[in-house]
Amino acid sequence: MKEVTFLHTADIHLGASFSHSCLPPSLVPGLRADLWRSFESIIEECGREKLHILFIAGDLFEDNSIRISDLKRVEQLFRSIPDTKIYISPGNHDNWGSHSPYQFTQWSENVIVFESGELGKREYNEWLDIWGYGWKERIIKTNVLHGNDFDASKTNVLLIHGDITGSGSSYLPVGRDDIILNSFDYAALGHIHKPMAFGETVRYPGSPEPFDFSDIGDRGIIKGTISPGKVSTEFFSRSLKRFCIEIVEITPEMTYYHILNQIRARADKPERDFYRIVLKGLMDRNIDLEDLSNQSLEEFRYMELKDETLKDYDLESLYQHHQDDIIGCFISEMMKTGLSDPVHRDALYYGLEALLKEYDL
C-alpha cells in the first residue's frame, strides 16, 4: 500500500452540557443531538469511502457528563467500520485518568487509544508510524514533545491534543516553531475549535459543530492522503448549523416593519442556524423591541436581539420641557458644539440616556 487515506477530526464533545453557552436550557437536547448526528455522519463517511484511518485528536466526549449508554453507542459506531483504523489521543475533557470512560468499554480491534501519558508510537505499516499522546489530567502546563526517537526514513504522523497558539497555555503548550512538532510529516491537532493551519503540515480541523456565539465561521473536518514522505490535506466545511452575528444599522426614519424586514434579510438559513442580531445607530424611541423580537422569533430556530442603538429624541420638545434643569442645560451646551459631528451627536444621545434614567428615578 503506497497511499493511505484518512479523516482528521477533534473536539466533538459528545455528552456536552452546554452549561457555558448562555443559551436557553430548552435548546440543549437539540444541540446535543446535533453532536451525535455530526459524529455519526463522520463514521458513515469513513465507511462509505473506505478510508483507511480516522484520527480523533482528543475531546471525543465530555468525561463528566458522558453516560455508559453513550459509550456503547460510540463503541457500536466504531465497530461498524472494521476496515478503518481509529486512532484516539485523549484530551483534557476525555483524559485517560483513573476514572476515564475509555476504561469502561471493550473497544473493537480497530480502535487504538494512546493512554500512557507520554508520547507513544504505533506502527501502521512498514513505512508509516503514528505517534500520539494521551492526557491523564485536565491541565498540562509543559510541552511533552521530547525524547522521541522516530525513524526519519519512515513517514511519521503526530496525533495530539494541545495548544500551539500561546506559550502560557495550561493545555499542553507547544511552540509553533517547536523543532520536534515540525519534524513530523503531519501533525493532526485538537483543542482549538476553529480550523487553523500552520504551514503545510500542522493543522487543527476545529470542532465539527459550533457550540455557541464564540464559534463563528466554518466548522468541519480534514481529509487527506499519506504516501511515503508526503501528506496532502483539505478542509471540508460540513457543520449542521452555524452561529451568526449580524449587524443592522438603524436610522430614526426606519419604521417597525422596515427594521423587521432588515432582520429577516440578514438570515440566510433561519430554520437551521443560530442568530444574534445587533442593532446599531439611532432608533425611534417608540419602537417596541420586545414586540420586534417576538415577531422575528417566529421564523428562526433561534434568534437573540441585542440593542446597541441610541434612542432618537425630539430635542426641541425635550429642551422646552427641561430648560430649567440639568437636562436642558446639557442639551443647550451640546447643541453649541454642532451635531453634524457624529462624535458630538453620540455624546449628546449617550448623555441624554443617562440623564433621563436619573430623572425617571
Instruction: Give pLDDT, residue 334.
Output: 78
280: which strand partners? 249, 308
CA distance 129 to 127: 7
Q: What are 198-231's pLDDT values in tens digits?
A: 988 999 999 999 999 999 999 999 999 999 989 9
Q: What average pLDDT does range 121-137 have in this prediction?
A: 94
pLDDT of 21 over the 90 cut = no
pLDDT band for position 28 (cuts 50, 70, 90): very high
Domain ranges of the chain: 4-237, 243-360
CA distance 158 to 55: 10
Q: Nearest to residue 136, comparing CAs of 159, 157, 156, 113?
A: 113
H/E stretch holding 353 reads helix 342-360
Q: What average pLDDT does range 117-141 have in this prediction?
A: 91
Tell me the percentage of the chain whose pLDDT exceeds 90: 60
Instruction: Give pLDDT, residue 285.
Output: 80
pLDDT band for position 187 (cuts 50, 70, 90): very high
pLDDT band for position 34 (cuts 50, 70, 90): very high
Assigned C-alpha cell, 181: 512538532
pLDDT of 359 over the 70 cut = no
pLDDT band for position 361 (cuts 50, 70, 90): very low
Q: What average pLDDT does range 169-197 have in this prediction?
A: 91
CA distance 252 to 284: 5
Assigned C-alpha cell, 329: 442645560
Q: What are 53-76's pLDDT values in tens digits?
A: 999 999 999 988 889 999 999 999
pLDDT of 105 over the 90 cut = no
Are the beta carbons of 11 and 49 closer than 8 angstroms? no
Q: What are 319-351's pLDDT values in tens digits?
A: 677 878 887 788 778 777 876 677 777 787 778
Q: What are 251-301's pLDDT values in tens digits?
A: 888 999 999 999 999 999 999 999 999 999 888 888 988 998 988 888 899
Instruction: Give pLDDT, residue 92.
Output: 92
pLDDT band for position 26 (cuts 50, 70, 90): very high
46-60, 126-140, 316-330, range with greatest mean pLDDT: 46-60
CATH topology of domain 4-237: Purple Acid Phosphatase; chain A, domain 2 (3.60.21)
Give the chain's end-to-end CA distance (angstroms, integer).
78
Instruction: Give pLDDT, residue 257.
Output: 94
Compute CA distances 255 → 16, 252, 283, 303, whole Å: 42, 8, 9, 20
Neighbours of 27 (CB within 10 A): 14
Compute CA distances 263 → 107, 229, 283, 312, whole Å: 49, 52, 14, 20
Compute CA distances 60 → 41, 78, 99, 101, 169, whole Å: 14, 13, 16, 11, 21
